Every structure is written in C-alpha cells, then in structure tokens.
C-alpha cells in the first residue's frame, strides 16, 4: 500500500473501549487517525482513498499459542489427521514412504486412536510393514505420544532393558519388549532427536508455505513455543533480513536457561518483529494420550491419573532462574492437578517487573477453587478454543461429569481473568476464525451437540482474545492489538460482520485481505475490493 492511505466506508472494530468507526488513516505503516467520515476532512485531501464498501476490518489476528517453526516443517510430513481407522493410516504411510529415499526417515503426525471407528492401539510391527525398512516415527494429534517402528527403536537404543524415564512411559508388550508406543517427549526424544534437520532451501520453502497459510487466515502475529535454539536462530536470521513475515513473541524451553543466563537474554529484547517473551515448561501431558495430570483417575482405567512431566520443585527451580532475567514462565497444564501444581509454583515465584506475567497454557480442566487462585495471582490463561469441539468425545469418555470444568471461557471472562486464544498449530489448524466459531458454538461444525452451553461467549469476546488478548499476555497492549493512532497498520478485511452473522455461519467468513505493517500480504482473488 502507499504511504498515505485513507480507508473509509468500513466497519472498523478498533478494540479500544468497544469503539467502532467507519474510517482509518495510515501513514508510513502506522495508523494516524480513526473516526467517522474522515474522507471529508481536508486534512486527508492528499491521501489515496479506499472505499471498503461496508466491509468489516479487525486488528490482525494473533495466535497466542503456536509451534510455528514446527508447523513449517510439517509440510514435509505425512498427515494422518482426520483418518478414522488404523488401516487408512497404514495405507497412507505406505504410499508416503514409497516416495522417500532408501534410508530416509518416515515422519508423520495427526493420528488419534480415539477417533478411529474401531479403537486399536498401533504397534511397531504394523509400522515395520509399511515403512520399507526405513526408520519411522508418527506423532499423535496431541504430539504427546509417538508411534515408532523397530528400526527407530534400535537406532535410539530402546530395548526391553530400557526403563521408563522420569516424566514419560515406554509401553511394553507381554514379553517386556517395547511396543513402539512412547508416551511424552521424555520417552520419545531419544528417537525424535535423531531426525535430520531440513536443509536451508527446504526450510525456506516450508516456511513460505506456513506464511502463506497464515496470511490466508488473517494472522499477522504469533506466540511461538518451538523453544529450541535452532528455531530461534532461524527466526533471527530472517528478522535480520527483514523476511520474518510475522510479529513473533518467542518462548524458549526451560532447558535453554543456562544459555539465556550466560548471554543475559532478558524479557522484551528484540525488535518490531522478533521479541523474547519468556520460557516454556511442561507440567503434564495431554488428554488424547491420557497423560494429562488429574486429581481423579481416568474413567475406565485401573490407576491412571496421568503423568507428572515435571514436579513442583523442578518447575520452581526453572521459574526462579528465569526470573533473574525478568522472564515469565508459560507452563503447559491440561489436567486439573497440573493446573493446581502450576499455581503452587506461581505462588512461590519471585515477583516480575516491566509488565511481564506468568501464563498457564491450555488450562483445559480446572477446579473452581483454582480459578480464584488464578485471579488472585494475576496469571494469564492461554487457551485454544478449537480444542474444545475436537475433545468433546474424549472428555466425556475419560473425565465424565468433570467435563463441566473444562474450557470454561465464560467463567474466566466473567471473573475478569485475562485470556488469550490460540490454535496450538500444527495440532489444530492455524485458523482464528474457526477458533472464534468454536468459542461461540462449543460444537463441531454443523453439529448441534453443544458442550456445556453455559460456557459459550460472544463473537466479539472471542475476537478480543485473538487480537488484544495476546498483546496483554506479553505486555504489549500499549503498541499491539488495537487499531488506534500510533499502532502499526496490522489489520484484516473480512467478508462479513463477525459480530452479526449467526454463530453457525462464522466458519464461512472469508478473509478478504491481510495487511501487515502496511503491506498487503494476502488478497482474496475473487473479491471486488481494490486495495
């Protein structure tokens, strides 16, 4: 777009005090004015003018929980998401493996035994038959379980003599040999660490595909929880070349703390596009793998309460180290016991400065008394509404009536607890509009099976959590998440007024254009708009 642009005849949700205006002036990548009918003001006589023809504008969507670097890499893997039988998974893996070189790893993701019509847990022998002698690893949809073949186990040195690691579990056959199912990263990292990194040219190609996807969905920023040094270095290189393509707040894994302390990497360091936001810690697993840590055992299990990936003591050590750099902690907690543990950690944690705030990622199942503790401790809740319709079946099966305390969006908003929405891509699609629809409907698309309707929220409340909510979570509300003077020109043009369409039609809203830092990153080919 040109330096001086005036957009008018629009419906602009500024996210500032519920203000909705019809026009917005931009100058050199910044918003300089908002108001009614600014096209009539002589102040903007020399501005290029764009008639939005009553279309809706919202701030650029920000996904508050992604694994964006990993998402880019997923473009070179076989996707098993949505397949409803083990046989279909095996067939697709076999076809994919046949396209690879002789000793190349077969990598896939997205399968879920709980979505199979006939529930069957896979094993290494099944994968052996379709991988063509190559090492193979398939991640579940929740990424907390890996299904590997015999060659992968051999390369990783996992045998009948290998004991369960702390925070993980190696499933065994009746003869004590590993079955090929490894629960949690602690158990499967010895395999996944063997995966070769894509070449620079490959990664460039995959990253561009990920960016193109993001732009089509109206995403201008993400919070990235890739965590590893390689991912951050990749982002740094792109940022230095002005090619990062998104505004990224980055969270390192807690294992990086020695390096961060040595190099004095502090909260908020970075530039307009890449910024240090904190550290990521895992406290438990996930519902799909039945490793989310709960106060009560899983229905149908003998004695499964989930897995404590890190103890309160271990987490507190990391949180205190991070606090020396002013870095807040974003701690993964899905089960209600995990949430309780994390709140115990935050109660003992040092005070943070400069607007930094601790977060609980997912916050999926929570006891009501812990909601009050969350409010008292001023903790940000970071949730992924698209997980709600995806998990309905599993919640009912494994948590039963406790599901009333899952995905409590309405309760959190009514309590005044800050809430940021994301997708957890690649676990769920990077698609904020679908996330808004999920928060509003709490049901699968076209389904009337609503999950605890009392916890539904409005489209505008959900929109806030995909725009200003993520900015609040990382202390950037003074410069991100709103369309007001002084803020960057990051915004999205929508085909419909998201606040007025029926809830069932939100999924059908199209992104007509995505503008990041004043540049048009995406324009819908079939739109009559002229930007």
For residue 406, pLDDT over 80 is answered with yes
The domain tally of the chain equals: 3
- CATH number for 11: 2.30.40.10
Predicted confidence at residue 360, as pLDDT, reads 98
- CATH number for 175: 3.10.310.70
Quick check: is 529 in a domain? Answer: no
Is residue 50 located within the same domain as residue 157? no
Q: Put residue 101 in one of left, alpha, beta given phi > 0 → left and psi -120 to 50 → alpha.
A: beta
Instruction: Give the phi and the psi of residue 319 in degrees, each rounded to 5.
Output: -65, -40
How does residue 1 score in pLDDT terms, banded at 50, 70 and 90?
confident
* Mean pLDDT computed over 370-387: 98
Quick check: is 192 in a domain? Answer: no
Quick check: is 483 in a domain? Answer: no
* pTM of structure: 0.93
Predicted confidence at residue 119, as pLDDT, reads 87
* Mean pLDDT computed over 404-409: 98
Quick check: is 202 in a domain? Answer: yes
Read off the pLDDT of residues 463-505 as tens digits, 9 standing for 90 and up.
999 999 999 999 999 999 999 999 999 999 999 999 999 999 9
Pairwise CA distance, residues 142 & 427, whole Å: 6
Is residue 87 located within the same domain as residue 213? no
Predicted confidence at residue 502, as pLDDT, reads 95
Pairwise CA distance, residues 448 & 285, whole Å: 30
Read off the pLDDT of residues 430-446 as tens digits, 9 standing for 90 and up.
999 999 999 999 999 98
Is residue 101 located within the same domain as residue 209? no
- CATH number for 362: 3.20.20.140
For residue 417, pLDDT over 80 is answered with yes
For residue 456, pLDDT over 90 is answered with yes
Read off the pLDDT of residues 239-259 as tens digits, 9 standing for 90 and up.
999 999 999 999 999 999 999
Read off the pLDDT of residues 269-289 as tens digits, 9 standing for 90 and up.
999 999 999 999 999 999 999
Average pLDDT, the chain: 95
Is residue 452 located within the same domain as residue 373? yes
Predicted confidence at residue 197, as pLDDT, reads 86
C-alpha triplet 142, 115, 392: angle, nearest 5°: 75
SS3 39: helix
Angle formed by the axes of helices 229-240 and 200-216, nearest 10°: 80
Final residue of a structural domain among 130, 158, 183 = 183
C-alpha triplet 61, 109, 120: angle, nearest 5°: 125
Residue 152 belongs to domain spanning? 82-140+145-183
What the block records as the tokens of 3 is 């330096």
Is residue 171 located within the same domain as residue 202? no
Pairwise CA distance, residues 105 & 368, whole Å: 45
Quick check: is 528 in a domain? Answer: no
Where does 144-250 have alpha helices with state H?
A: 150-156, 185-192, 200-216, 229-240
Is residue 89 located within the same domain as residue 54? no
Is residue 352 located within the same domain as residue 270? yes
The owner of tokens 């002789």 is: 102
Torsion angle defined by CA atoms of residues 74, 75, 77 and 83, in that order, rounded to the nearest 10 degrees: 90
Angle formed by the axes of helices 336-348 and 312-323, nearest 10°: 40
SS3 420: strand
- Give the closest residue to 304 by CA, choosing from 397, 185, 378: 397
Is residue 325 located within the same domain as residue 423? yes
Instruction: Find out whether 304 and 297 touch, Cβ atoms under 8 Å.
Output: yes
Is residue 227 located within the same domain as residue 131? no
For residue 529, pLDDT over 80 is answered with no
Read off the pLDDT of residues 33-86 as tens digits, 9 standing for 90 and up.
999 999 999 999 999 999 999 999 999 999 999 999 999 999 999 999 989 999
Predicted confidence at residue 114, as pLDDT, reads 86
Pairwise CA distance, residues 283 & 272, whole Å: 31
For residue 95, pLDDT over 90 is answered with yes
Predicted confidence at residue 446, as pLDDT, reads 87
Instruction: Please return the burial class of 137, using the count of CB atoms within 10 Å of its CB with bins 0-12, 13-18 and 19+.
Output: buried
For residue 314, pLDDT over 90 is answered with yes
Q: Considering just the CA atoms, what is the radius of gyration of the chain in Å?
A: 23
Is residue 179 located within the same domain as residue 207? no
Quick check: is 14 in a domain? Answer: yes
Read off the pLDDT of residues 157-190 as tens digits, 9 standing for 90 and up.
999 999 999 999 999 999 999 999 999 999 999 9
Instruction: Find out whether 340 and 311 touch, Cβ atoms under 8 Å.
Output: no
Quick check: is 478 in a domain? Answer: no
Is residue 204 located within the same domain as residue 319? yes
Between strands 106-111 and 136-140, the pairing is parallel
Read off the pLDDT of residues 198-253 as tens digits, 9 standing for 90 and up.
888 999 999 999 999 999 999 999 999 987 788 999 999 999 999 999 999 999 99
How does residue 528 score in pLDDT terms, banded at 50, 70 and 90?
low
Contacts with 105 (C-beta within 8 Å, 6 or more apart), sequence order:
134, 135, 136, 137, 194, 195, 196
Quick check: is 246 in a domain? Answer: yes
Instruction: Find out whether 93 and 128 touch, Cβ atoms under 8 Å.
Output: no
Is residue 23 located within the same domain as residue 121? no
């Amino acid at each position: 777009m040109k330096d001086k642009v005036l957009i008018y005849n629009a419906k602009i949700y500024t996210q500032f005090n519920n203000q909705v205006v019809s026009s917005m002036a931009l100058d050199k990548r910044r918003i300089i004015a908002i108001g009614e009918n600014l096209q009539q003001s002589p102040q903007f006589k020399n501005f290029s003018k764009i008639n939005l023809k009553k279309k809706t504008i919202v701030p650029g969507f920000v996904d508050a929980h992604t694994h964006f670097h990993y998402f880019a890499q997923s473009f070179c893997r076989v996707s098993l998401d949505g397949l409803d039988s083990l046989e279909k998974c095996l067939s697709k893996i076999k076809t994919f493996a046949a396209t690879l070189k002789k000793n190349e790893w077969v990598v896939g993701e997205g399968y879920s035994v709980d979505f199979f019509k006939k529930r069957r847990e896979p094993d290494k022998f099944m994968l052996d038959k379709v991988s063509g002698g190559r090492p193979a690893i398939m991640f579940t949809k929740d990424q907390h379980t890996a299904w590997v073949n015999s060659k992968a186990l051999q390369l990783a040195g996992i045998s009948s003599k290998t004991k369960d690691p702390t925070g993980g579990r190696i499933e065994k056959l009746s003869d004590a040999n590993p079955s090929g199912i490894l629960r949690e990263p602690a158990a499967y990292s010895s395999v996944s660490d063997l995966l070769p990194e894509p070449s620079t040219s490959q990664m460039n190609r995959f990253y561009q595909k990920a960016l193109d996807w993001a732009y089509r969905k109206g995403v201008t920023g993400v919070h990235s929880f890739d965590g590893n040094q390689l991912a951050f270095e990749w982002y740094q290189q792109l940022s230095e070349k002005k090619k990062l393509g998104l505004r990224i707040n980055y969270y390192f894994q807690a294992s990086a703390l020695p390096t961060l302390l040595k190099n004095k990497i502090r909260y908020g360091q970075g530039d307009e596009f890449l910024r240090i936001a904190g550290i990521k810690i895992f406290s438990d697993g996930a519902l799909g793998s039945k490793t989310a840590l709960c106060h009560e055992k899983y229905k149908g299990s003998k004695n499964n309460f989930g897995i404590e990936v890190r103890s309160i003591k271990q987490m507190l050590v990391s949180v205190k180290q991070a606090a020396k750099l002013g870095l807040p902690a974003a701690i993964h907690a899905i089960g209600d016991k995990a949430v309780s543990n994390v709140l115990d950690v935050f109660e003992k944690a040092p005070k943070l400065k400069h607007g930094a705030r601790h977060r609980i990622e997912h916050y999926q199942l929570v006891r009501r008394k812990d909601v009050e503790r969350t409010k008292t401790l001023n903790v940000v809740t970071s949730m992924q509404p698209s997980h709600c319709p995806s998990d309905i079946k599993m919640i009912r099966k494994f948590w039963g009536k406790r599901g009333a305390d899952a995905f409590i969006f309405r309760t959190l908003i009514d309590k005044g607890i800050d809430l940021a929405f994301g997708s957890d891509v690649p676990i769920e699609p990077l698609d904020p509009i679908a996330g808004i629809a999920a928060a509003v409907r709490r049901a699968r698309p076209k389904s009337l099976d609503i999950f605890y309707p009392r916890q539904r929220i409005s489209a505008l409340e959900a929109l806030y959590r995909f725009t200003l909510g993520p900015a609040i979570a990382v202390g950037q509300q003074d410069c991100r998440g709103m369309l007001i003077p002084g803020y960057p020109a990051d915004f999205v043009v929508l085909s419909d007024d998201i606040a007025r369409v029926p809830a069932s039609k939100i999924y059908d809203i199209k992104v007509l254009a995505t503008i990041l830092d004043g540049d048009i990153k995406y324009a819908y080919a079939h739109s009559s708009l002229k930007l």
